[in-house]
């Protein structure tokens, strides 16, 4: 059987198939449907320093080629996660990665510090696309200086593998990637959702309570592939790719573009067992192509 293990900084995954934050809960909710221990990693839902209710309903909308969401990081806070969720993860043989979000740099750093105390958690994914309250609502991840500032602060409080999730809603994603790498990121993941909106033409009102939301699904895959390919050439740290992945061909395409691992997001809502199926399909693909190690695919695009 082909080797499927990959390394994300100091984090070793048994295979490159992961699930994306906000689309797979804490993973345990899916244990009756599939063997979640077969996955390389599970990125749990966004976790903040304090309890957050999220945005008012409606906050999800279906589109012809994906979906819009404006959930707003609803969660019970990092202390609740540590006390009530974390103990339930011990039974599973996969890597759990906490997606850390916040509104202030200090909140990011403190949340990361608390997660660092959890021995079973070996990595965090830093979501730098949230509102920066201190700077009038600007997202941290839209310009290199602010992206680097929050990453540096978290790096100072978090000694384990630090993955930084990048926003596609920028003019130069490579500049952002280089900035967070220089500030201490061990890896980058991309892309987060694209900004979009939907309108009810009968009421003449936006469908989402927040008017705009994040677009995910097959519509964003070409954009995601392009950005992964660009960023993989711009940085020396591992890249984790995501955006509309639903089949083994998608997985391989992202690996060839330069991703070391991938995350399945939107399609978890379409088929809750898709990530487990992709683990088996990756093994089948490697065997059929005579590939002895999945790492041979990474960055193997022929131009």
71-106 confidence digits (pLDDT tens): 888 999 999 999 999 999 989 999 999 999 998 999
Burial class (CB in 10 A: 0-12, 13-18, 19+), 77: middle
pLDDT, one tens digit per residue, over 105-119 is 999 999 999 999 999
**Binding-site residues from annotation for FMN:** 21, 45-46, 99, 127, 165, 191, 217, 243-244
Q: Average pLDDT for residues 212-227, to the nearest whole number?
A: 96
Q: Average pLDDT for residues 21-46, to the nearest whole number?
A: 96
Predicted local distance difference test score (pLDDT) of residue 169: 92
pLDDT, one tens digit per residue, over 185-203 is 999 999 999 999 999 999 9
Q: Note whether 236 and 92 are within 8 A (CB).
A: no
pLDDT above 60 (res 151): yes
Q: Can you give the three-state secondary structure of the chain, one letter per residue?
A: CCECCEEECCEEECCCEEECCCCCCCCHHHCCCCCHHHCCEEEEEEECCCCECCCCCCCEEEECCEEEECCCCCECCHHHHHHHHHHHHHHCCCEEEEEECCCCHHHHHHHHHHHHCCCCCCEEEEECCCEEHHHCCEEHHHCHHHHHHHHHHHHHHCCCEEEEECCCCCCCHHHHHHHHHHCCCCEEEECCCEEEECEECCCCEECCCCCEEEEECHHHHHHHHHHHHHHHHHCCCCEEEECCCCCHHHHHHHHHHCCCEEEECCHHHHCCCHHHHHHHHHHHHHHHCCCCEHHHCCCCCCC
pLDDT, one tens digit per residue, over 247-265 is 999 999 999 999 999 999 9
Q: Which residues 6+ apart lie within 8 Å of 271 measured at CB?
A: 277
Q: Note whether 175 and 144 are within 8 A (CB).
A: yes
The fraction of the chain above a pLDDT of 70, given in percent, is: 97
Catalytic residue numbers? 130
**Binding-site residues from annotation:** 21, 45-46, 69-73, 99, 127, 165, 191-193, 217, 243-244
**What CATH number labels 6-297?**
3.20.20.70
**Binding-site residues from annotation for substrate:** 45, 69-73, 127, 192-193
Please count the other Cβ atoms lying within 10 Å of the Cβ belonging to residue 51: 12
Q: Note whether 57 and 134 are within 8 A (CB).
A: no
Q: Note whether 134 and 104 are within 8 A (CB).
A: yes
- Provide the pLDDT confidence category of residue 133 given band limits of 50, 70 and 90: very low
Give the whole-angstrom CA distance, residue 209 versus residue 271: 27
Q: Average pLDDT for residues 27-53, to the nearest whole number?
A: 96
pLDDT above 80 (res 30): yes
Predicted local distance difference test score (pLDDT) of residue 190: 97
pLDDT above 90 (res 125): yes
- Provide the pLDDT confidence category of residue 134 given band limits of 50, 70 and 90: low
pLDDT above 50 (res 137): no
- Provide the pLDDT confidence category of residue 131 given band limits of 50, 70 and 90: low
Predicted local distance difference test score (pLDDT) of residue 130: 65
pLDDT above 60 (res 222): yes
Predicted local distance difference test score (pLDDT) of residue 73: 86
Give the whole-angstrom CA distance, residue 209 versus residue 274: 30
pLDDT, one tens digit per residue, over 52-69 is 998 899 999 999 989 999
Please name which of 182, 178, 152 lies closest in space to residue 166, comparing C-alpha atoms: 178
Question: Per-domain residue ranges for the chain?
Answer: 6-297
The fraction of the chain above a pLDDT of 90, given in percent, is: 91
- Provide the pLDDT confidence category of residue 1 given band limits of 50, 70 and 90: confident
């Amino acid at each position: 059987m082909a080797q499927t293990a990959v390394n994300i900084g100091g984090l070793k995954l048994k295979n490159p198939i992961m699930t994306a934050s906000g689309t797979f809960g804490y993973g345990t909710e899916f244990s009756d449907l599939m063997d979640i221990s077969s996955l390389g990693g599970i990125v749990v839902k966004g976790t903040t320093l304090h309890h957050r209710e999220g945005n008012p309903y409606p906050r999800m909308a279906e589109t012809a080629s994906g979906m819009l969401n404006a959930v707003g990081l609803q969660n019970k806070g990092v202390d609740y996660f540590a006390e009530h969720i974390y103990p339930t993860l011990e039974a599973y043989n996969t890597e759990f990665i906490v997606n850390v979000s916040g509104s202030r740099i200090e909140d990011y750093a403190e949340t990361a510090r608390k997660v660092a105390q959890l021995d079973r958690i070996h990595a965090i994914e830093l979501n730098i696309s949230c509102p920066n309250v201190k700077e009038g609502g600007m997202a941290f991840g839209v310009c290199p200086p602010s992206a680097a500032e929050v990453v540096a602060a978290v790096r100072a409080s978090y000694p384990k593998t630090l993955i930084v999730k990048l926003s596609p809603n920028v003019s130069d994603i490579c500049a952002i990637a280089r900035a967070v790498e220089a500030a201490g990121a061990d890896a980058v993941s991309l892309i987060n959702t694209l900004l979009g909106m939907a309108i009810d033409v009968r009421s003449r009102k936006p469908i989402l309570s927040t008017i705009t939301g994040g677009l995910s699904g097959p519509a964003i895959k070409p954009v995601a592939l392009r950005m992964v390919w660009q960023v993989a050439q711009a940085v020396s740290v591992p890249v984790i790719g995501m955006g509309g992945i639903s089949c083994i061909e998608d997985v391989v395409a992202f690996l060839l573009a330069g991703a070391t691992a991938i995350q399945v997001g939107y399609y978890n809502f379409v088929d809750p067992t898709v990530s487990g199926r992709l683990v088996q399909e990756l093994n089948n693909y490697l065997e059929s192509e005579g590939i002895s190690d999945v790492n041979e695919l990474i960055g193997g695009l022929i131009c």
